[in-house]
Structure 1
């Protein structure tokens, strides 16, 4: 797979809790230089990143309920509405893991549905933290996400242990079928990692290692994370 094809699949991310405004500015400059189409920053920086990137056809995305997923549905909805007001054009929400583990599936589905509604037609991805779930729970989560009419299932935040694996991506793809989105995130650091993940079924990659992936250069930009 050519690196220019990978650029179109990468959600370039800077979600470090200590990222400064200067870091975000450098990150946005990297985004423009290397041609990434979508970036993800924490809610506080959405407006700033959007202003920086608005003339370069780059979408700014935002994590919701990050990074534990335990916020109430009302809080996640409010966070989504505020992010869109500030210029967010894609939404990555974290599933309610406690409710999923408690087999409170109607709560999990409702939580996703309400964020999807609040997203006003924007692409909505749902993070399930595959490293924390059993195989059965991963499959149940995928089905709830599809029923709630989100657009993607996503492997991980990269902040709660584990990350994207070829086996997990293959399982998610097999569960959701060929027409639903699968985003892999967490620990994707090299060109080879990215290609293997795409071959397993991912059609979007979330990573802070985007420059390294497409250039093969071990030097990295503003921040390097596992996300």
Structure 2
């Protein structure tokens, strides 16, 4: 039996409605929150300097913040401090970037230690998502870093920052990531998810969360979501 495609409302509940542009203002973030509540997204995802974020009274909208973004070339101590600070300012979830160069060199123990440092700084119930920049890695490297992230206590592995020139999410990467981590760790697809068709394809491949900046256009199904994250 064919599984029905998720409805726009079901897709919305998988979306982290995202604004990470360096020129973003507080007014932009306030508008993001209003739009997220209207669309019924799972959360908003913002830069840590934009915290705290006020969500509408009675809303179940969550707040995520990035850490070590977008290069991942920060020290583990800096990432841990940034993540802990974001949680103190009200973040429910942290999306951290690994050292992609370490992954490309096969230094998976270093990746594991990096993730573990952030996990220790923001223990459960804070949700930790680990951005692996999958488009910059080959399949062996994707498997290696996903295993490292899972071993370090990640709740999610996430495809992309949306800022890397190699590109964003792909169905192949999402499927490989999901197969690698199994049911204990979830997968977030982000970077270049701009249409309802793409969102559904990523979910069919194994993503349970989506990073989207143009959520209104995506959910409307008009294919006009803006480029970028």
Asked if residue 117 in structure 1 is aligned to residue 120 in structure 2, the reply is yes
Q: Deviations over 1:38-58 (max 9, x none)?
A: 1101111121x2x24464221
The structure with higher relative contact order (CA 8 Å, sep 6+) is: 1
Q: Which runs of 4+ in 1 moved over 3 A?
A: 52-55, 217-220
Q: 2: distance between equivalents of 1:107 and 1:126?
A: 14
Q: 2: distance between equivalents of 1:108 and 1:86?
A: 26
SS at match of 1:177: helix
Q: 2: distance between equivalents of 1:217 and 1:108?
A: 39
Counterpart in the other structure of 1:226: 228
Asked if residue 46 in structure 1 is aligned to residue 51 in structure 2, the reply is yes
Q: 1: distance between equivalents of 2:180 and 2:224?
A: 37
TM-score of the superposed pair, with normalisation by structure 2? 0.92
Q: 1: distance between equivalents of 2:29 and 2:144?
A: 36
Asked if residue 136 in structure 1 is aligned to residue 140 in structure 2, the reply is yes
**Displacement of 1:214:** 1.4
Q: 2: distance between equivalents of 1:198 and 1:24?
A: 26
TM-score of the superposed pair, with normalisation by structure 1? 0.93
SS at match of 1:195: helix
Counterpart in the other structure of 2:172: 167
**Displacement of 1:105:** 2.3
Counterpart in the other structure of 1:216: 221
Asked if residue 35 in structure 1 is aligned to residue 40 in structure 2, the reply is yes
Describe the shift of the 1:21–1:219 C-alpha distance in structure 2 as closer, same or farther (beyond 3 A). farther
1:104 to 104, 107, 113: 107
Asked if residue 94 in structure 1 is aligned to residue 97 in structure 2, the reply is yes
**Displacement of 1:181:** 0.3
Structure 1 unaligned segments of length 5 or more: list them: none
Counterpart in the other structure of 1:181: 186
Counterpart in the other structure of 2:211: 206
SS at match of 1:198: helix
| Alignment RMSD (CA, Å) | 1.5
Q: Number of residues paired by the alignment?
A: 222
Q: 1: distance between equivalents of 2:208 and 2:78?
A: 29
Describe the shift of the 1:52–1:4 C-alpha distance in structure 2 as closer, same or farther (beyond 3 A). closer
Counterpart in the other structure of 2:3: none
1:84 to 84, 87, 107: 87
SS at match of 1:178: helix
**Displacement of 1:96:** 1.2
Q: Deviations over 1:71-93 (max 9, x none)?
A: 00010011011101110000100
